Amino acid sequence: MIDRATRDALERRHYPELPAVVFNAVRAALEQRLPRGARVLDSGSGPGSWVLQEQRALDAGRIALLVGQDVYRPDSTALDGFVLARSEALPFATGSFDLVLAYNVIEHLPDPARAFCEIARVLAPGGVFAFKTPAAQAPLFLLARLLPTRWHKRLKCGIGVAEEDVFPTRYRANSVGALEHALSAAGLRRDWLYTVDQTYAYCSQRRWSYVLGLRYSRFTRHRALSWLRNQIVGFYRKDEVS
């Protein structure tokens, strides 16, 4: 795997818009929907998602309570609390959270429709469900679906992901249409939806492959090629009580 300094240099040369396109747009969307003093559930993300830890570091008062939930017990020292539970059966009272985040989680869920209903239940009225998940129809993930989990582990170890952090994928709600249908049925309404490509992140073993990945991801920015983008980011809001 090439080092961070080399990747930064290649990104500046071959995809200079990458920080704005891939990260800054999502950061801005989260900041707009994360009220000061928010109660937040980081669902299915083990030790905690970097995007929430970043928000807390930038403004300690923005997130008053940060609870993690997963089906295994990781190092959760960066969280205020942690529970072992399935996303389809959350052990929290109705209306407990202002925001629920599922970062690279939906693709692993055996029953995403049921999980979305649980997320809607634990959200307060007006609360937001935020997620990032792969687009199953993108070429990279069409190929990934043909490979067994042991191959996923081997490939991800090559880009710096620990083997124990690679879980089986199911892709049962991993298209814009499937997400829209299931989330609407759970009582969540689209607030903001964004697609972006991160093929480059899976190509960091060699300089030449990283360059190809960067150029491919940059190429998909053209509107006519949006169907090639391999990541879906969404913010869906629970209706206010009338």
The pLDDT of residue 74: 87
The CA–CA distances, whole Å, from 90 to 52, 111, 123, 157, 210 equal: 20, 13, 11, 31, 39
Q: Is the dihedral of CA 68, 175, 29, 117 positive or negative?
A: negative
pLDDT, averaged across the chain = 92
Q: Please, which pLDDT band fits residue 155 given cuts at 50, 70 and 90?
A: low
Quote the CA–CA distance of 36 and 41 in Å, as a whole number. 15
pLDDT the model gives residue 158? 58
Q: What is the pLDDT of residues 95-120, one digit of tens each?
A: 999 999 999 999 999 999 999 999 99
What pLDDT does residue 75 have? 86
Could you give the 3-state DSSP secondary structure of residue 160? coil
pLDDT at 201: 93
Q: What is the pLDDT of residue 168?
A: 81
- Helix axis angle, 4-14 to 207-219, nearest 10°: 40
CA distance 43 to 87: 7
Core vs surface per residue 75-106: b (16+ CB within 10 A) or e = ebebbeebeebbbbebebeeebbbbbbbbbbb
> So where are the chain's domains?
4-238
Q: Give the tens place of pLDDT for each residue, 184-235.
A: 999 999 999 999 999 999 899 999 999 999 999 999 999 999 999 999 999 9
**177 three-state secondary structure:** helix
Instruction: Give 157's pLDDT tier (boundaries 50, 70, 90).
Output: low
Q: Is the pLDDT of residue 147 over 80?
A: no
Joined tokens for residue 43: 């669902």
Per DSSP, the residues of 114-156 read HHHHHHHHHEEEEEEEEEEEE-TTSHHHHHHTTS-HHHHHHHH
Interval 51-68: pLDDT, tens = 999 999 999 899 999 999
**Rounded to an integer, what distance in angstroms lies between the CA atom of residue 212 and that of residue 218?**
10
Contact 201, 192 (CB under 8 A): no
Q: Residue 5: is its pLDDT beyond 60?
A: yes
d(CA 185, CA 179): 10
4-238 sits in which CATH class? alpha beta
Confidence at residue 30, expressed as pLDDT on a 0 to 100 scale = 96
SS3 at position 35: coil
Rounded Cα distance, 147 and 71, in Å: 24
